[in-house]
């Protein structure tokens, strides 16, 4: 087994709690299903948000996922780079897995697809 990082990102249209949690949950469900991740294999989950998202923590979405109660989660601010994608939520899931690095499926939704056009999700 190795520890691998699985990346993902999404965007919201509005800085509103419901949408932040819904888009974060949608992203996490896709990351988990695409990579066959089980909560007990997760080392940690880190969410970052751009400065224009502050109505709630995206990590709250994990409360709606069965079995994720004890997974360590943290939310942080993304560095404010001029011209960067606004209203963006990023996630890094570190997981124990037998997958090779090239087998990991990184997931990008909505406007965040432009962050990694080389990865099709």
Task: For 77-92, write each residue's pLDDT tens digit.
Answer: 999 999 999 999 999 9
Residue-level pLDDT at 120: 61
Distance separating alpha carbons of residues 61 and 43, to the nearest angstrom: 17
Residue 118: predicted pLDDT: 77
Q: Which residue has the higher pLDDT, 12 or 120?
A: 12
Query: Is the separation of the CB atoms in 19 and 110 below 8 Å?
Result: no
pLDDT tens-place string over residues 36-72: 999 999 999 999 999 999 999 999 999 889 999 999 9
Does the pTM exceed 0.75? yes
Please give the domain boundaries of the chain with CATH numbers for all domains. Answer: 2-115 (3.30.1330.40)
Average confidence (pLDDT) over 15-21: 98
In this prediction, residue 98 has a pLDDT band, given cuts at 50, 70 and 90, of very high
Give φ, ψ of 90 to 5 degrees.
-115, 155
Query: Which one-letter DSSP state was computed for residue 104?
Result: -
Please list the active-site residues: 7, 63, 75, 78, 90, 108, 116
C-alpha–C-alpha distance, residues 88 and 111, integer Å: 8
Q: What residues contact residue 75 under an 8 Å CB cut-off, 6+ apart?
A: 46, 47, 48, 49, 57, 58, 59
Q: Are 59 and 88 in contact (CB under 8 A)?
A: no
pLDDT at 112 over 60: yes
């Amino acid at each position: 087994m190795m520890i691998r990082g699985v990346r993902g990102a999404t965007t919201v249209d509005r800085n509103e709690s419901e949408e932040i949690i819904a888009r974060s949950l949608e992203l996490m469900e896709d990351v988990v299903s695409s990579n066959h991740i089980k909560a007990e294999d997760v080392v940690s989950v880190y969410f970052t948000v751009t400065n224009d998202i502050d109505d709630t923590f995206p990590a709250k979405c994990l409360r709606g996922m069965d079995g994720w109660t004890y997974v360590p989660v943290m939310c942080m601010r993304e560095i404010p780079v001029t011209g960067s994608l606004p209203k963006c939520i990023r996630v890094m899931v570190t997981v124990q897995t037998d997958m090779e690095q090239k087998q990991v499926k990184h997931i990008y939704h909505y406007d965040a697809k432009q962050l990694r056009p080389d990865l099709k999700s």
